[in-house]
Structure 1
Amino acid sequence: MAEHKTTSKPASSQEFDLQHSVDRAQDFYTKNKNIILFALVAVVAIIGGTIGYKRFFKEPNEKKAQEAIFAAQNYLAVDSFKLALNGDGNTYGFLQVIDKYSGTKAGNLAKYSAGVCYVKLGEYQKGIDQLKAFSSEDLVLQPLANGLIGDAYMELNKADEAVSYYKKAGASNNDLISPIYLLRAGLALEKSNKPQDAIAVYQEIKQKYPQTNEGREMDKYLARLGVVK
Protein backbone atom coordinates (compact mmCIF):
# COMPACT_ATOMS: atom_id res chain seq x y z
CA MET A 1 0.00 0.00 0.00
CA ALA A 2 1.35 3.45 -0.88
CA GLU A 3 2.74 5.55 1.94
CA HIS A 4 2.30 9.31 1.59
CA LYS A 5 4.57 11.92 3.09
CA THR A 6 2.96 15.33 3.59
CA THR A 7 6.01 17.51 3.00
CA SER A 8 7.43 18.38 -0.37
CA LYS A 9 10.43 20.06 -1.86
CA PRO A 10 9.52 23.19 -3.87
CA ALA A 11 9.64 22.75 -7.63
CA SER A 12 12.88 24.11 -9.05
CA SER A 13 12.98 26.94 -11.55
CA GLN A 14 14.46 24.51 -14.06
CA GLU A 15 11.45 22.22 -13.75
CA PHE A 16 9.04 25.14 -13.91
CA ASP A 17 10.18 26.90 -17.05
CA LEU A 18 7.76 29.54 -18.31
CA GLN A 19 9.85 30.37 -21.36
CA HIS A 20 9.82 26.75 -22.57
CA SER A 21 6.03 26.59 -22.34
CA VAL A 22 5.52 29.85 -24.20
CA ASP A 23 7.99 28.79 -26.88
CA ARG A 24 6.10 25.50 -27.38
CA ALA A 25 2.87 27.42 -27.95
CA GLN A 26 4.49 29.91 -30.30
CA ASP A 27 6.37 27.24 -32.21
CA PHE A 28 3.21 25.21 -32.72
CA TYR A 29 1.38 28.28 -34.00
CA THR A 30 4.22 29.37 -36.27
CA LYS A 31 4.75 25.95 -37.84
CA ASN A 32 1.06 25.32 -38.37
CA LYS A 33 -0.35 28.79 -38.95
CA ASN A 34 -1.55 28.07 -42.49
CA ILE A 35 -3.54 25.06 -41.31
CA ILE A 36 -4.89 26.97 -38.32
CA LEU A 37 -5.94 29.93 -40.43
CA PHE A 38 -7.61 27.69 -42.98
CA ALA A 39 -9.61 26.06 -40.21
CA LEU A 40 -10.52 29.29 -38.43
CA VAL A 41 -11.18 31.54 -41.41
CA ALA A 42 -12.94 29.04 -43.68
CA VAL A 43 -16.09 30.51 -45.24
CA VAL A 44 -19.26 29.34 -43.50
CA ALA A 45 -21.81 27.74 -45.85
CA ILE A 46 -24.56 30.07 -47.03
CA ILE A 47 -27.89 28.97 -45.60
CA GLY A 48 -31.46 30.22 -46.11
CA GLY A 49 -32.29 33.79 -45.11
CA THR A 50 -28.72 34.65 -44.12
CA ILE A 51 -27.50 34.52 -47.74
CA GLY A 52 -27.40 38.29 -48.17
CA TYR A 53 -25.62 38.97 -44.89
CA LYS A 54 -23.00 36.31 -45.41
CA ARG A 55 -22.34 36.97 -49.09
CA PHE A 56 -22.18 40.75 -48.98
CA PHE A 57 -20.82 41.45 -45.52
CA LYS A 58 -19.56 38.50 -43.51
CA GLU A 59 -17.56 36.70 -46.19
CA PRO A 60 -15.78 39.84 -47.48
CA ASN A 61 -15.08 40.87 -43.88
CA GLU A 62 -13.56 37.49 -43.09
CA LYS A 63 -11.33 37.79 -46.14
CA LYS A 64 -10.22 41.29 -45.17
CA ALA A 65 -9.48 40.13 -41.64
CA GLN A 66 -7.39 37.24 -42.89
CA GLU A 67 -5.39 39.58 -45.10
CA ALA A 68 -5.00 42.11 -42.28
CA ILE A 69 -3.57 39.57 -39.84
CA PHE A 70 -0.91 38.30 -42.24
CA ALA A 71 1.81 40.87 -41.45
CA ALA A 72 1.29 40.53 -37.69
CA GLN A 73 1.73 36.77 -37.97
CA ASN A 74 5.02 37.28 -39.78
CA TYR A 75 6.25 39.61 -37.04
CA LEU A 76 5.25 37.05 -34.42
CA ALA A 77 7.16 34.36 -36.30
CA VAL A 78 10.41 36.36 -36.00
CA ASP A 79 9.84 37.37 -32.34
CA SER A 80 9.03 41.02 -33.12
CA PHE A 81 6.31 41.04 -30.50
CA LYS A 82 5.71 44.79 -30.27
CA LEU A 83 5.34 45.10 -34.03
CA ALA A 84 3.11 42.01 -34.03
CA LEU A 85 0.89 43.69 -31.46
CA ASN A 86 0.81 47.25 -32.76
CA GLY A 87 1.72 47.07 -36.44
CA ASP A 88 4.41 49.05 -38.21
CA GLY A 89 2.42 52.05 -39.39
CA ASN A 90 1.70 50.49 -42.75
CA THR A 91 0.19 47.17 -41.66
CA TYR A 92 -2.07 46.17 -38.81
CA GLY A 93 -0.93 44.50 -35.64
CA PHE A 94 -3.03 42.01 -33.72
CA LEU A 95 -4.61 44.74 -31.59
CA GLN A 96 -5.88 46.59 -34.67
CA VAL A 97 -7.21 43.36 -36.16
CA ILE A 98 -9.06 42.64 -32.91
CA ASP A 99 -10.56 46.13 -32.89
CA LYS A 100 -11.51 46.36 -36.56
CA TYR A 101 -12.54 42.75 -37.15
CA SER A 102 -13.86 41.75 -33.74
CA GLY A 103 -16.67 39.63 -35.17
CA THR A 104 -14.49 37.53 -37.44
CA LYS A 105 -12.68 34.26 -36.88
CA ALA A 106 -9.35 35.88 -37.74
CA GLY A 107 -10.13 38.57 -35.16
CA ASN A 108 -10.69 35.85 -32.59
CA LEU A 109 -7.40 34.19 -33.52
CA ALA A 110 -5.69 37.57 -33.13
CA LYS A 111 -6.70 37.53 -29.44
CA TYR A 112 -4.76 34.30 -28.93
CA SER A 113 -1.74 35.67 -30.78
CA ALA A 114 -1.87 38.97 -28.90
CA GLY A 115 -1.94 36.99 -25.66
CA VAL A 116 1.21 35.13 -26.69
CA CYS A 117 2.92 38.44 -27.48
CA TYR A 118 2.02 40.02 -24.15
CA VAL A 119 3.24 36.99 -22.20
CA LYS A 120 6.50 37.00 -24.16
CA LEU A 121 6.89 40.70 -23.32
CA GLY A 122 6.29 40.07 -19.62
CA GLU A 123 2.95 41.88 -19.56
CA TYR A 124 1.23 38.96 -17.95
CA GLN A 125 -2.13 40.45 -16.97
CA LYS A 126 -2.66 41.83 -20.48
CA GLY A 127 -1.76 38.41 -21.82
CA ILE A 128 -4.30 36.78 -19.53
CA ASP A 129 -7.00 39.21 -20.63
CA GLN A 130 -6.44 38.52 -24.32
CA LEU A 131 -6.17 34.77 -23.89
CA LYS A 132 -9.37 34.67 -21.85
CA ALA A 133 -11.13 36.64 -24.58
CA PHE A 134 -10.07 33.99 -27.13
CA SER A 135 -12.47 31.09 -27.56
CA SER A 136 -12.15 28.11 -29.86
CA GLU A 137 -13.30 24.52 -30.20
CA ASP A 138 -9.89 23.66 -31.62
CA LEU A 139 -8.46 20.77 -29.62
CA VAL A 140 -4.96 22.24 -29.64
CA LEU A 141 -5.24 26.03 -29.59
CA GLN A 142 -7.75 26.27 -26.74
CA PRO A 143 -5.71 24.04 -24.37
CA LEU A 144 -2.57 25.99 -25.30
CA ALA A 145 -4.36 29.24 -24.47
CA ASN A 146 -5.45 27.86 -21.10
CA GLY A 147 -1.92 26.63 -20.41
CA LEU A 148 -0.44 30.04 -21.20
CA ILE A 149 -2.93 31.66 -18.84
CA GLY A 150 -1.65 29.28 -16.19
CA ASP A 151 1.95 30.29 -16.93
CA ALA A 152 1.07 33.97 -16.69
CA TYR A 153 -0.69 33.47 -13.36
CA MET A 154 2.37 31.68 -12.01
CA GLU A 155 4.50 34.67 -12.97
CA LEU A 156 2.03 36.84 -11.04
CA ASN A 157 2.40 34.52 -8.02
CA LYS A 158 -1.23 33.41 -8.26
CA ALA A 159 -0.72 29.68 -7.99
CA ASP A 160 -4.35 28.74 -7.32
CA GLU A 161 -5.50 30.44 -10.50
CA ALA A 162 -2.58 28.89 -12.39
CA VAL A 163 -3.51 25.39 -11.24
CA SER A 164 -7.10 25.92 -12.35
CA TYR A 165 -6.05 26.81 -15.89
CA TYR A 166 -3.38 24.11 -16.07
CA LYS A 167 -6.06 21.59 -15.22
CA LYS A 168 -8.34 23.04 -17.90
CA ALA A 169 -5.51 22.62 -20.41
CA GLY A 170 -4.90 19.10 -19.14
CA ALA A 171 -8.57 18.16 -19.46
CA SER A 172 -8.29 18.15 -23.26
CA ASN A 173 -7.27 14.46 -23.20
CA ASN A 174 -4.60 15.25 -25.77
CA ASP A 175 -1.56 12.97 -25.41
CA LEU A 176 0.76 15.78 -26.51
CA ILE A 177 -0.61 18.63 -24.44
CA SER A 178 -2.47 17.20 -21.45
CA PRO A 179 0.45 15.58 -19.59
CA ILE A 180 2.59 18.71 -20.03
CA TYR A 181 0.08 20.98 -18.35
CA LEU A 182 -0.99 18.45 -15.75
CA LEU A 183 2.68 18.22 -14.76
CA ARG A 184 2.77 22.00 -14.46
CA ALA A 185 -0.33 21.82 -12.25
CA GLY A 186 1.46 19.32 -10.03
CA LEU A 187 4.59 21.47 -9.80
CA ALA A 188 2.49 24.52 -8.97
CA LEU A 189 0.73 22.55 -6.23
CA GLU A 190 4.11 21.48 -4.82
CA LYS A 191 5.23 25.08 -4.86
CA SER A 192 2.06 25.97 -2.94
CA ASN A 193 2.86 23.27 -0.34
CA LYS A 194 -0.09 21.09 -1.35
CA PRO A 195 1.68 17.74 -1.74
CA GLN A 196 -1.44 15.56 -1.53
CA ASP A 197 -3.06 17.46 -4.38
CA ALA A 198 0.16 17.21 -6.37
CA ILE A 199 0.26 13.46 -5.76
CA ALA A 200 -3.26 13.11 -7.15
CA VAL A 201 -2.25 14.96 -10.33
CA TYR A 202 0.93 12.92 -10.78
CA GLN A 203 -1.02 9.69 -10.34
CA GLU A 204 -3.49 10.87 -12.98
CA ILE A 205 -0.63 11.47 -15.42
CA LYS A 206 0.85 8.06 -14.68
CA GLN A 207 -2.49 6.33 -15.19
CA LYS A 208 -3.76 8.19 -18.26
CA TYR A 209 -0.52 8.92 -20.13
CA PRO A 210 1.96 6.14 -19.27
CA GLN A 211 3.61 6.17 -22.72
CA THR A 212 4.43 9.88 -22.72
CA ASN A 213 7.70 11.38 -21.48
CA GLU A 214 5.85 12.87 -18.53
CA GLY A 215 4.10 9.61 -17.72
CA ARG A 216 7.35 7.67 -17.68
CA GLU A 217 8.85 10.13 -15.18
CA MET A 218 5.99 10.12 -12.69
CA ASP A 219 7.56 7.56 -10.36
CA LYS A 220 10.38 10.06 -9.78
CA TYR A 221 7.95 12.84 -8.85
CA LEU A 222 5.84 10.54 -6.68
CA ALA A 223 8.89 9.17 -4.88
CA ARG A 224 10.00 12.70 -4.12
CA LEU A 225 6.69 13.18 -2.31
CA GLY A 226 7.06 9.96 -0.34
CA VAL A 227 4.87 7.70 -2.46
CA VAL A 228 6.49 4.28 -2.76
CA LYS A 229 5.30 1.10 -4.44
Structure 2
Amino acid sequence: MATYKKRGYKSKTNKEERVADEHSATEEVFSTLDESASKTEEWVSRNQQYILTGIGVIVVVVLGYLGYQQFVQNPKEAEASNEMFFAQQYFDEAVNSTAKDSLYGLALNGAEGKYGLLDIIENYSGTKAANLAHYSAGMAYLNTQQYQEAIQYLEEFESEDPILGALAKGGIGDAFVQLGQEADAIAWYDKAIAHNDNNFTAPKFLFKAGTVSMELGEYGKAVEYFNRIKEEYPSSEEARTIDIFIGRAETLSK
Protein backbone atom coordinates (compact mmCIF):
# COMPACT_ATOMS: atom_id res chain seq x y z
CA MET A 1 0.00 0.00 0.00
CA ALA A 2 1.44 3.31 -1.03
CA THR A 3 2.13 6.00 1.58
CA TYR A 4 1.92 9.70 1.02
CA LYS A 5 2.51 12.97 2.80
CA LYS A 6 -0.23 15.45 3.37
CA ARG A 7 0.06 18.53 1.31
CA GLY A 8 1.73 21.35 3.23
CA TYR A 9 3.04 19.06 5.97
CA LYS A 10 6.71 19.19 6.88
CA SER A 11 8.27 17.02 9.57
CA LYS A 12 10.33 18.80 12.26
CA THR A 13 14.04 18.91 11.67
CA ASN A 14 16.59 17.96 14.37
CA LYS A 15 17.46 21.62 14.75
CA GLU A 16 13.86 22.62 15.39
CA GLU A 17 13.45 19.83 17.94
CA ARG A 18 16.64 20.95 19.71
CA VAL A 19 15.43 24.55 19.84
CA ALA A 20 12.08 23.41 21.25
CA ASP A 21 13.84 21.35 23.93
CA GLU A 22 16.10 24.26 24.86
CA HIS A 23 13.10 26.58 25.08
CA SER A 24 11.34 24.13 27.38
CA ALA A 25 14.44 23.79 29.58
CA THR A 26 14.79 27.57 29.78
CA GLU A 27 11.19 27.89 30.88
CA GLU A 28 11.83 25.31 33.62
CA VAL A 29 14.91 27.22 34.82
CA PHE A 30 13.03 30.51 34.99
CA SER A 31 10.16 28.78 36.74
CA THR A 32 12.58 27.39 39.33
CA LEU A 33 14.21 30.80 39.77
CA ASP A 34 10.83 32.41 40.24
CA GLU A 35 9.94 29.86 42.90
CA SER A 36 13.31 30.39 44.66
CA ALA A 37 12.92 34.17 44.53
CA SER A 38 9.44 33.86 45.93
CA LYS A 39 10.68 31.69 48.80
CA THR A 40 13.55 34.12 49.45
CA GLU A 41 11.12 37.04 49.57
CA GLU A 42 8.94 35.13 52.01
CA TRP A 43 11.97 34.32 54.21
CA VAL A 44 13.11 37.96 54.15
CA SER A 45 9.61 39.11 54.98
CA ARG A 46 9.36 36.72 57.94
CA ASN A 47 12.83 37.58 59.25
CA GLN A 48 12.97 41.26 58.36
CA GLN A 49 13.19 42.37 61.98
CA TYR A 50 16.17 40.11 62.67
CA ILE A 51 17.95 41.20 59.49
CA LEU A 52 17.49 44.88 60.26
CA THR A 53 18.65 44.30 63.83
CA GLY A 54 21.76 42.47 62.58
CA ILE A 55 22.59 45.25 60.13
CA GLY A 56 22.05 47.79 62.88
CA VAL A 57 24.43 45.96 65.20
CA ILE A 58 27.13 45.83 62.49
CA VAL A 59 26.72 49.55 61.78
CA VAL A 60 26.93 50.37 65.50
CA VAL A 61 30.05 48.23 65.92
CA VAL A 62 31.80 49.80 62.91
CA LEU A 63 30.88 53.34 63.92
CA GLY A 64 31.84 52.59 67.51
CA TYR A 65 35.24 51.29 66.43
CA LEU A 66 35.87 54.31 64.20
CA GLY A 67 34.73 56.65 66.96
CA TYR A 68 36.92 54.89 69.52
CA GLN A 69 39.93 55.17 67.22
CA GLN A 70 39.26 58.82 66.47
CA PHE A 71 38.26 60.14 69.87
CA VAL A 72 39.87 57.74 72.36
CA GLN A 73 42.75 55.69 70.94
CA ASN A 74 44.39 58.35 68.78
CA PRO A 75 44.48 60.99 71.56
CA LYS A 76 45.71 58.29 73.95
CA GLU A 77 48.49 57.37 71.52
CA ALA A 78 49.54 61.01 71.20
CA GLU A 79 49.54 61.54 74.96
CA ALA A 80 51.49 58.33 75.57
CA SER A 81 54.10 59.28 72.97
CA ASN A 82 54.54 62.67 74.61
CA GLU A 83 55.06 61.08 78.04
CA MET A 84 57.41 58.51 76.52
CA PHE A 85 59.71 61.22 75.23
CA PHE A 86 60.98 62.14 78.71
CA ALA A 87 61.38 58.55 79.94
CA GLN A 88 63.22 57.59 76.77
CA GLN A 89 65.59 60.53 77.19
CA TYR A 90 66.72 59.16 80.56
CA PHE A 91 67.11 55.71 79.01
CA ASP A 92 69.23 57.03 76.12
CA GLU A 93 71.41 59.01 78.54
CA ALA A 94 71.94 55.87 80.62
CA VAL A 95 73.17 53.93 77.59
CA ASN A 96 75.90 56.49 76.97
CA SER A 97 76.73 57.39 80.58
CA THR A 98 78.89 56.05 83.38
CA ALA A 99 76.15 56.71 85.95
CA LYS A 100 73.97 54.02 84.41
CA ASP A 101 72.11 52.70 87.43
CA SER A 102 70.72 56.05 88.55
CA LEU A 103 69.70 57.06 85.04
CA TYR A 104 68.07 53.71 84.35
CA GLY A 105 66.20 54.19 87.62
CA LEU A 106 64.92 57.57 86.43
CA ALA A 107 63.92 56.05 83.11
CA LEU A 108 61.96 53.33 84.88
CA ASN A 109 60.30 55.37 87.59
CA GLY A 110 60.24 58.91 86.19
CA ALA A 111 61.26 62.20 87.79
CA GLU A 112 60.17 65.81 88.20
CA GLY A 113 56.52 64.93 87.79
CA LYS A 114 57.15 63.07 84.54
CA TYR A 115 56.12 59.49 83.94
CA GLY A 116 58.69 56.72 83.82
CA LEU A 117 58.54 53.65 81.61
CA LEU A 118 56.61 51.69 84.23
CA ASP A 119 53.99 54.44 84.51
CA ILE A 120 53.53 54.49 80.75
CA ILE A 121 53.05 50.72 80.67
CA GLU A 122 50.44 50.94 83.44
CA ASN A 123 48.55 54.00 82.25
CA TYR A 124 48.71 53.63 78.47
CA SER A 125 48.21 49.93 77.97
CA GLY A 126 47.56 48.99 74.34
CA THR A 127 49.44 51.92 72.84
CA LYS A 128 52.58 51.76 70.72
CA ALA A 129 54.40 53.79 73.36
CA ALA A 130 53.52 51.27 76.07
CA ASN A 131 54.76 48.43 73.88
CA LEU A 132 58.07 50.21 73.29
CA ALA A 133 58.26 50.96 77.02
CA HIS A 134 58.27 47.19 77.64
CA TYR A 135 61.43 46.93 75.54
CA SER A 136 63.20 49.87 77.20
CA ALA A 137 62.16 48.74 80.68
CA GLY A 138 63.39 45.22 79.98
CA MET A 139 66.74 46.50 78.79
CA ALA A 140 66.99 48.86 81.78
CA TYR A 141 66.45 45.94 84.15
CA LEU A 142 68.95 43.82 82.21
CA ASN A 143 71.59 46.53 82.54
CA THR A 144 70.96 46.89 86.27
CA GLN A 145 71.28 43.12 86.89
CA GLN A 146 67.58 42.59 87.62
CA TYR A 147 67.27 39.60 85.34
CA GLN A 148 63.86 38.21 86.22
CA GLU A 149 62.29 41.62 85.65
CA ALA A 150 64.22 41.95 82.39
CA ILE A 151 62.78 38.67 81.14
CA GLN A 152 59.27 39.64 82.21
CA TYR A 153 59.20 42.95 80.34
CA LEU A 154 61.10 41.81 77.26
CA GLU A 155 58.76 38.86 76.81
CA GLU A 156 55.82 41.27 76.69
CA PHE A 157 57.40 43.38 73.97
CA GLU A 158 55.99 42.65 70.50
CA SER A 159 57.67 43.83 67.34
CA GLU A 160 58.33 42.73 63.78
CA ASP A 161 61.15 45.24 63.58
CA PRO A 162 64.23 43.32 62.37
CA ILE A 163 66.58 44.88 64.92
CA LEU A 164 64.50 45.60 68.03
CA GLY A 165 62.62 42.31 67.83
CA ALA A 166 65.87 40.34 67.65
CA LEU A 167 67.55 42.40 70.38
CA ALA A 168 64.61 41.80 72.73
CA LYS A 169 64.79 38.04 72.24
CA GLY A 170 68.56 38.10 72.55
CA GLY A 171 68.26 40.19 75.72
CA ILE A 172 66.11 37.46 77.26
CA GLY A 173 68.86 35.01 76.33
CA ASP A 174 71.45 37.22 78.08
CA ALA A 175 69.29 37.33 81.22
CA PHE A 176 69.00 33.54 81.29
CA VAL A 177 72.78 33.23 80.99
CA GLN A 178 73.18 35.41 84.06
CA LEU A 179 70.64 33.27 85.90
CA GLY A 180 72.64 30.14 85.08
CA GLN A 181 69.96 28.76 82.74
CA GLU A 182 72.16 28.24 79.71
CA ALA A 183 69.82 25.88 77.84
CA ASP A 184 67.04 28.47 78.04
CA ALA A 185 69.49 31.12 76.91
CA ILE A 186 70.40 29.17 73.76
CA ALA A 187 66.72 28.65 72.97
CA TRP A 188 66.17 32.43 73.05
CA TYR A 189 69.33 33.09 71.05
CA ASP A 190 67.92 30.75 68.41
CA LYS A 191 64.71 32.80 68.37
CA ALA A 192 66.73 35.99 67.99
CA ILE A 193 68.70 34.47 65.10
CA ALA A 194 65.51 33.33 63.37
CA HIS A 195 63.74 36.66 63.89
CA ASN A 196 65.55 38.32 61.02
CA ASP A 197 68.42 37.45 58.72
CA ASN A 198 70.47 40.63 58.94
CA ASN A 199 74.20 41.21 59.21
CA PHE A 200 74.03 42.76 62.68
CA THR A 201 71.85 40.73 65.02
CA ALA A 202 72.08 37.27 63.41
CA PRO A 203 75.90 36.85 63.71
CA LYS A 204 75.81 38.55 67.12
CA PHE A 205 73.51 35.90 68.59
CA LEU A 206 75.06 33.04 66.62
CA PHE A 207 78.30 33.90 68.38
CA LYS A 208 76.63 34.06 71.79
CA ALA A 209 74.87 30.74 71.18
CA GLY A 210 78.18 29.19 70.15
CA THR A 211 79.97 30.55 73.20
CA VAL A 212 77.31 29.25 75.61
CA SER A 213 77.37 25.88 73.81
CA MET A 214 81.11 25.76 74.50
CA GLU A 215 80.47 26.41 78.20
CA LEU A 216 78.00 23.51 78.23
CA GLY A 217 80.56 21.23 76.58
CA GLU A 218 78.47 20.96 73.42
CA TYR A 219 81.41 21.55 71.12
CA GLY A 220 79.88 20.07 67.97
CA LYS A 221 76.93 22.42 68.33
CA ALA A 222 79.32 25.32 68.89
CA VAL A 223 81.12 24.47 65.66
CA GLU A 224 77.80 24.66 63.80
CA TYR A 225 77.02 28.11 65.19
CA PHE A 226 80.51 29.44 64.46
CA ASN A 227 80.56 27.98 60.94
CA ARG A 228 77.28 29.72 60.14
CA ILE A 229 78.93 33.04 60.96
CA LYS A 230 81.85 32.24 58.66
CA GLU A 231 79.70 31.00 55.79
CA GLU A 232 76.60 33.21 55.99
CA TYR A 233 77.94 36.46 57.45
CA PRO A 234 81.56 36.76 56.29
CA SER A 235 81.48 40.58 56.41
CA SER A 236 80.20 40.77 59.99
CA GLU A 237 82.30 41.93 62.94
CA GLU A 238 82.08 38.46 64.49
CA ALA A 239 83.51 36.83 61.36
CA ARG A 240 86.85 38.63 61.74
CA THR A 241 88.14 36.25 64.40
CA ILE A 242 85.71 33.36 64.01
CA ASP A 243 88.35 30.93 62.70
CA ILE A 244 89.98 30.96 66.14
CA PHE A 245 86.73 29.89 67.79
CA ILE A 246 86.01 27.28 65.13
CA GLY A 247 89.47 25.80 65.62
CA ARG A 248 89.09 25.70 69.42
CA ALA A 249 85.62 24.10 69.23
CA GLU A 250 86.76 21.52 66.68
CA THR A 251 89.77 20.57 68.82
CA LEU A 252 87.64 20.10 71.93
CA SER A 253 84.98 18.15 70.04
CA LYS A 254 87.46 15.38 69.11
Bin the TM-score by the shorter chain.
Answer: 0.7 to 0.9
Residues 48 and 182 (structure 1), Cα distance of their counterparts in 2 relative to 1, 3 Å cut: farther
For the Cα contact (< 8 Å) 2:173–2:189, is it kept in 1? yes
Amino acid at match of 2:87: A
Match of 2:221 in 1: 197
Q: Distance in 1 between matches of 2:246 and 2:145?
A: 32
**Quick one: which of 196, 204, 214 aligns to 2:238?**
214
**Quick one: which of 122, 133, 138 aligns to 2:156?**
133
Equivalent runs, 1:161-172 vs 2, <5 Å:
161-171=184-194, 172=196
Match of 2:209 in 1: 185
Match of 1:174 in 2: 198
Match of 2:77 in 1: 62
Match of 2:249 in 1: 225
2:101 matches 1:78: no
Count of residues in Structure 1 that have an aligned counterpart in Structure 2:
182
2:66 matches 1:51: yes
TM-score, structure 2 length as denominator? 0.68
Q: Distance in 1 between matches of 2:162 and 2:92?
A: 22
Q: 1:48, CA displacement in angstroms?
A: 7.3
2:137 matches 1:114: yes
Amino acid at match of 1:168: K
Amino acid at match of 2:82: E
For the Cα contact (< 8 Å) 2:142–2:175, is it kept in 1? yes
- The unaligned stretches of length 5 or more in structure 2 are 1-61, 95-102
Q: Distance in 2 between matches of 1:167 and 1:127?
A: 18
Q: 1:88, CA displacement in angstroms?
A: 1.5
Q: Partner of 2:120: helix, strand, or coil?
A: helix
Q: Distance in 2 between matches of 1:85 and 1:221?
A: 38
Amino acid at match of 1:76: F
Q: Which has the larger Rg?
A: 2
Q: Partner of 1:183: helix, strand, or coil?
A: helix
Match of 1:22 in 2: none
Amino acid at match of 2:129: A
Q: 1:200, CA displacement in angstroms?
A: 1.1
- The unaligned stretches of length 5 or more in structure 1 are 1-46
Q: 1:226, CA displacement in angstroms?
A: 2.7
TM-score, structure 1 length as denominator? 0.76
2:182 matches 1:159: yes
Q: 1:96, CA displacement in angstroms?
A: 0.5
Match of 1:92 in 2: 115
Deviation track 1:52-94 (CA, whole Å, cap 9, x = no partner) reads 1111011000001101111111111222011110112501000
Amino acid at match of 1:163: I
Q: Partner of 1:90: helix, strand, or coil?
A: coil
Q: Distance in 1 between matches of 2:250 and 2:166?
A: 31
Higher mean alpha-carbon deviation, 155-164 vs 211-220, is at: 211-220
CA RMSD of aligned residues (A): 1.7
Amino acid at match of 2:70: R
Amino acid at match of 1:69: M
